[in-house]
């Protein structure tokens, strides 16, 4: 049983939370708020705790993961916590030679570009990530009625890191493989879908209340390429965890042209970046899904009055939605003033009190 299941008798602590109600498109006491990258670089307490510890090491220490995940919940009064980890953690766990370089991102020692390179991608088991299970157990005990969101990188985004060897602006090696060897590409994404599904299952079985699939780089694709070459693998991931009954969120950056197709992949909640107004997003996604988003993260650098005005625009555009989870249209920027986030949570809660 996951933390999201309604047990026999009394509801679980998280089941009736505003966040999970919004994900299920049920009436809420207020619009719930959480932020992508709410745990991390914008918080001085995070920087102090992480000093001298490499990113991947910090993801593998349950004590650090628990404290870092809790920091924004205590500070901002957000309606959900997101598990502190990184999308490359499952790849590292199965033995891929990679590291997260400060200021650069994940760097892969041996990029995957030939069929024989697929041998690097073995199945992931719960025994590969015991620190994940331990940290989630610690967190669900401490969070009480606040839901915990688990996450993973989507097959396309993981493939892009693996094929490029690191972050890429144009994804030239990735697209060259996708167009030039469609069968190898399909096999690569299918293998990554299996690994991603296994990683999400570990998190759900440990007690997370919802999961988010980050397809950070998929906005680089045209709709037909997404439909043909990416959607089947993402759909496989969503299908693999459907039986658990936890809300499944899908998010990518620059994906306005893909919102309808990404919704078809099987998520319950579609994340929307700041480029598409929420009322237009619901038209593109169609009925039957909650939406999440979508204040521009850069707005938080403006005056409090400007932040409130732009937030009001998002709330007004989302007023007709069946379910709305307020979030930024991408992650919290590293130099964001934490107090601006705290004020934003309070403003959304106050403005949407029902």
Annotation marks residue 50 as catalytic: yes
Q: Which one from 5, 61, 75, 86 is the annotated catalytic residue?
A: 86
| CA-CA-CA-CA dihedral for 100, 102, 103, 107, to nearest 10 | -20
Could you confirm whether 169 is annotated as catalytic? no
- Contact residues for 271 (Cβ-Cβ < 8 A; gap 6+): 212, 249, 250, 251, 252, 291, 292, 293, 294, 327
Q: Which of 278, 264, 275, 267 is nearest to 325 (CA)?
A: 278
**HEC letters along 101-114:** ECCCEEEECCCCCC
The residue from 24, 50, 75, 275 that is catalytic is 50
The C-alpha torsion from 73 through 76 and 78 to 80, rounded to 10°, is -20
Distance CA 274, CA 109 (A): 34
Structure tokens at 128: 């590969």
Please list the helix, strand and coil fractions of the chain in percent, rounded to the nearest 5, in that order.
Answer: 50, 10, 40
Residue from 5, 24, 41, 190 carrying the catalytic annotation:
41
State the catalytic residue, choosing from 15, 25, 37, 284.
37
Alpha carbon distance 329, 351 (integer Å):
20
Containing 56, the helix (H) or strand (E) segment is: helix 55-59
The two tokens of residue 200 are: 């999400």
Catalytic residue check, 115: no
Exposed, middle or buried by CB within 10 Å (0-12, 13-18, 19+), for 38? buried
First-to-final CA distance of the chain: 31
User: Tokens for 256?
Assistant: 């306005």
From the list 15, 46, 131, 161, the catalytic residue is 161
Q: Which residues are catalytic?
A: 37, 41, 50, 86, 161
């Amino acid at each position: 049983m996951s933390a999201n299941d309604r047990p026999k008798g009394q509801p679980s602590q998280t089941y009736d939370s505003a966040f999970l109600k919004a994900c299920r498109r049920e009436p809420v006491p207020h619009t719930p708020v959480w932020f992508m990258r709410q745990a991390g670089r914008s918080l001085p307490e995070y920087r102090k705790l992480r000093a001298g510890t490499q990113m991947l090491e910090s993801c593998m220490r349950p004590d650090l993961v628990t404290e870092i995940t809790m920091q924004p919940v205590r500070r901002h009064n957000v309606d959900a916590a997101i598990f502190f980890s990184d999308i490359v953690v499952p790849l590292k766990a199965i033995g891929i030679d990679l590291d997260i370089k400060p200021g650069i991102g994940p760097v892969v020692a041996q990029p995957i570009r030939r069929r024989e390179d697929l041998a690097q991608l073995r199945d992931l088991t719960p025994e590969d990530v015991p620190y994940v299970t331990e940290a989630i157990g610690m967190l669900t005990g401490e969070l009480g009625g606040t839901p915990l969101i688990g996450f993973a990188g989507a097959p396309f985004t993981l493939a892009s890191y693996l094929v490029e060897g690191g972050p890429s602006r144009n994804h030239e090696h990735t697209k060259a493989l996708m167009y030039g060897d469609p069968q190898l590409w399909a096999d690569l994404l299918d293998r990554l879908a299996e690994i991603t599904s296994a990683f999400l299952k570990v998190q759900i079985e440990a007690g997370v209340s919802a999961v988010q699939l980050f397809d950070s780089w998929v906005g680089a694709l045209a709709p037909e390429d997404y439909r043909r070459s990416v959607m089947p693998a993402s759909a496989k991931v969503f299908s693999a965890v459907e039986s658990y009954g936890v809300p499944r969120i899908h998010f990518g950056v620059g994906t306005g042209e893909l919102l309808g197709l990404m919704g078809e992949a099987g998520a319950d909640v579609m994340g929307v970046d700041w480029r598409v107004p929420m009322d237009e997003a619901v038209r593109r996604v169609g009925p039957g899904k909650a939406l999440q988003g979508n204040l521009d993260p850069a707005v938080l650098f403006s005056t409090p009055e400007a932040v409130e005005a732009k937030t009001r625009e998002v709330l007004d555009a989302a007023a007709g939605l069946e379910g709305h989870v307020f979030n930024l249209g991408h992650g919290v920027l590293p130099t964001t003033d934490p107090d601006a986030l705290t004020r934003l949570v309070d403003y959304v809660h106050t403005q949407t009190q029902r």
